[in-house]
Structure formats: structure tokens, C-alpha cells
Copies of this chain bind each other. A is one copy, B any other.
Amino acid sequence: MALPTTAPKAFIQQQNLVEQVADYLTQAIIQQHFLPGERLSEVQLSRDLGVSRAPVREAARLLESRGLLISKPRRGFFVRALNAVELEDVFDLRLCLERHAIQRLAECYTPEAKRALEQQVEVLCEAAATNDGTRRIEEDLQFHRLMLHYAGNERLLRAFDDLTHELRLCITLITKTHEAPDTIATSHFMLLDALNSGSPATCREAIDYHIGVARDFVVKGVGETGDNTDEDLFPS
């Protein structure tokens, strides 16, 4: 009963309508087809997508749990908008998670993990040379995701994934600004070197610097493009 390694299920088993709608909404929000604070009409969405409202509602709840949408009772779902404080909080939590992860990883830095991370840095450098801002950011996030993965704590990885959804919420704002490919490369090689050294202190320094740079970059980008400090958008 052994199946071929390449999953044939992918061809046969079309995924749920809920997941399809969720994917569509996620992409639409990330690509700013729906602007922050904008209200999403269930009926209009279901009409546009050719499905009923039930899958749309469930998909919206899914995205709400991921922090991409906010629901107001009897009002519907709104695209989440991050203000400056929330953005700081997101990066602070990211620092918290990645500090922990890199130190755990340093404790059990297998050759496999080393190889995977080095390969991903190569891919990242390649992407950094292009003009595709979205791809640069995705490959960057993928590198960090790999770090979290090889740190060996699934729950930690899930927390990181939850966070990246919110990151993507505003990160497209800065895809236009072009960070120098060299900077990106060195920045990540520093992390690899720190892992090779095996020193917790060095790892911590490296990740602190790395995320600090990323935070400044995003905060600056959001500040320039116009931040969303409208408090009405964020009911408790």
C-alpha cells in the first residue's frame, strides 16, 4: 500500500472551499487589494468568488485568528491595520521568539540544519539581486522560518508563523524600498557565523542586531508611507 513519494493526493484532493477562500483573502490583503481598515462584505465576497456565505465566514474567522482581519459584532470583518505601537510589539515578540530559537538551535546545530540554512541564504542572495520585493521578503522570512524549524520546537514555530502573518500585513509597504543585496547577505551570514561559533552570547548579539535592523526598516517604511493610527479600527 506504499504510495509514491510525490503526493498524488495533491492532484485529486482539491482543498476545502474554506481554505481556498482563506488563501484568496490572504493574498488579496497582502497585495493591498483590500486596504487596511476596509470592510469586507460577506455577500459581495461570496458573489465574487461564486460560493455561499458559509465558507466565506469560516475563512474570515480563520484570518481573524491569524490577525489579518478583525470582526466587529453585527458589523462584519475589517482588514486589520497595525499602528506604530502594535508594530513595535510584533517586532518585540519576534525578537523574543528568535532569540530563544537561535540559542536552542546553537545547542543542537546538526550538519543537516547547517546545510539547509546555508542553502537558503544562497537562495535569498539570489532573490536579493532581483527587483521582486515580495520574493526577497518571502525568502528572508523562509530563512528565519528554517531557523525556528530546526530549533526543534513545533509550538515555537507555530507562534512564529502566526506572527509572520501580521508582518506580511504591513511588510508589502516596503517592498518598493530596495535594501542593498550586500547588506542582506552579510546580515544573514552573521547569523550563520554566530551559529557556527556555538556561543549563546554571540548568537544573541547577532539576532538582536538582525531584527533591530529589520524593525527600523519596516517602521521607517510605514512611517513614510503613512501609518494607520486610527484608534477606531482597533476595538478591544
Contact = CB atoms under 8 A, between A and B. Distances in A.
Contact of A156 (B65, B93, B104, B155): B93
A16 B92 contact: no
A93 B58 contact: no
B61 A92 contact: no
Q: How many copies altogether?
A: 2
Contacts of A155: 86, 89-90, 92-93, 163, 166
Interface of A is mostly: helix
Interface residues of A, number: 28
Nearest to A156: B93
Contact of A58 (B57, B92, B154, B166): B57
B16 A154 contact: no
Contacts of A16: 73
Given A92-B104, A92-B156, 16 more contacts: A16-B73, A57-B58, A58-B58, A58-B61, A62-B65, A65-B66, A86-B155, A89-B153, A89-B154, A89-B156, A92-B155, A93-B155, A96-B97, A155-B166, A159-B162, A162-B162
